[in-house]
Amino acid sequence: MKKLLAAIVLLSVFATLAGCGGSGTDETTPPPTTREEPAAITYDATTKLSPTGHAGLTAALAPADGSGKRTITLSAIKIPVKAGETEYTGLTASDFGLWIDGKEYVITVEPFSSTVASKADIAFAIDATGSMSGQIRNVQDSIIAFADYLTTAGLDVKFAGVDFYDRIGYTGYDIAAKDIDVASKIKGINLDVSVEDFKTWVDGLYATSGGDGPEVSVDAIYELNSRVKWRAGAQRIIIAFTDVTSHQRDDGTDYALWTGAETINACLGKTVVHTASPAGTIGKPSSTALGKSFIGNDGKRYSGALATSTDDYDISEIAKATGGLDLYMTYGTKFDLSSLSIKSTIASGYRITFTDPGGALTRARLVFYVSGSPVSDIILADS
């Protein structure tokens, strides 16, 4: 009997060693059930939705760790991108495909939980012009309460923000001379300020100036996206508050540096933008594309078309394109940011890991499948 038990133990040890050895699937080679890399998934130029109604994914690629593993932080997937749609939950490795240089890699997919860390970087773009005088206090209180809400929940969250007017920052800058000291105007640009210091900055804002109607919320979103030192592997979120349309470059003024389309392209696949504003902030329709319609900041459908670079711009289009929410903000009412799905998005995203192939990763493509069909994707790279 003892000999039999010893034999069983030895067989178990050999089986374990064999399972840990080189005969298993190597994560740097295609798995046994290799699929062909799907063709490029096309997205509508204005809605950024694929023909199946699915939006591009939002994810961040972290550097390799000491064990040679690389991590992709994937935001929760809610498709199509508007409030009230169903979130895909319980996703596993079989719902994704990762291709590097045309070769599929083995991945592990873990939902965020108490044991799988999640982190998010949140930057606020705040319209602090004179027309916001009746609402600025409510916006400030909402942001401060939201910061407390997220940190109390024990989430790894960092904050940044910028106030904007007809320029970014009250003191402005000279666009004609390209004298644009935007970096100095972004609070927490390195994501190194404490929550208390950030709240103090928010609390000290006040409504003033502004000039004409539109402001530069498009520029504020673009500059936050490109200048904040986002942490590797963190979900990137921008929340923009305004009560009017935005200037954009070539709209007949010299206020803005960027267009709405450029801002969408800069954020797409990297940063989710949520916008909050009252009704009446709809950009002028393009005279060359009348007859179409789109959803405005108050949730109503408007006749006309998306603004061109010669028009002022409705920033809800940025939210719609990047997977964010277009939220209605009522004047004189505290805006409850905790009602956003951001907490659940941070807490219900996914950590995807794979073995680092070595060297600079110039192109990795993550594809999301629904019922076996590729419907969304994102291109990730080290540069």
At residue 227, the 3 state secondary structure works out as helix
What is the C-alpha to C-alpha distance for residues 75 and 368, in angstroms, rounded to an integer?
A: 12
> How far from 251 is each of 102, 211, 245, 255, 285, CA to CA, in Å?
43, 15, 12, 9, 13
What pLDDT sits at residue 281?
42
Q: Of 202-206, 317-321, 368-372, which range is least confident?
A: 317-321
For 24, the token pair is 């298993």
Q: Of 23-27, 33-37, 342-346, 376-380, which range is least confident?
A: 23-27
pTM of the model: 0.68
What is the C-alpha to C-alpha distance for residues 335 and 29, in angstroms, rounded to an integer?
A: 50
Q: What are the pLDDT digits (tens) for 42-51? A: 887 666 678 8
Could you identify the residue written with the tokens 């799988």? 116
The C-alpha R_g of the chain, in whole angstroms, comes to: 24
What pLDDT sits at residue 104?
92
Q: Which residue has the higher pLDDT, 88 or 97?
A: 97
Among candidate residues 176, 174, 165, 314, the one with its CA nearest the CA of residue 245: 314
What pLDDT sits at residue 213?
72
Tell me, rounded to whole angstroms, the distance of Cα 154 from its chain centroid. Answer: 21
Instruction: List, in sequence order, the alpha helices (H) in 258-372.
Output: 260-267, 316-322, 342-347
For 26, the token pair is 């190597």
Average pLDDT of the residues in 96-123: 84
What is the C-alpha to C-alpha distance for residues 138 and 69, in angstroms, rounded to an integer?
A: 44
Whether the per-residue pLDDT at 73 is higher than 90: the answer is: no
What pLDDT sits at residue 294?
36
Among candidate residues 347, 380, 366, 355, the one with its CA nearest the CA of residue 117: 347
Number of residues that this document lists for the chain:
383
Q: Give me the domains of the chain, ranges plus CATH numbers.
A: 30-115+349-380 (2.60.40), 119-341 (3.40.50.410)
What is the C-alpha to C-alpha distance for residues 46 and 318, in angstroms, rounded to an integer?
A: 10
Cβ neighbours, 10 Å, residue 211: 14
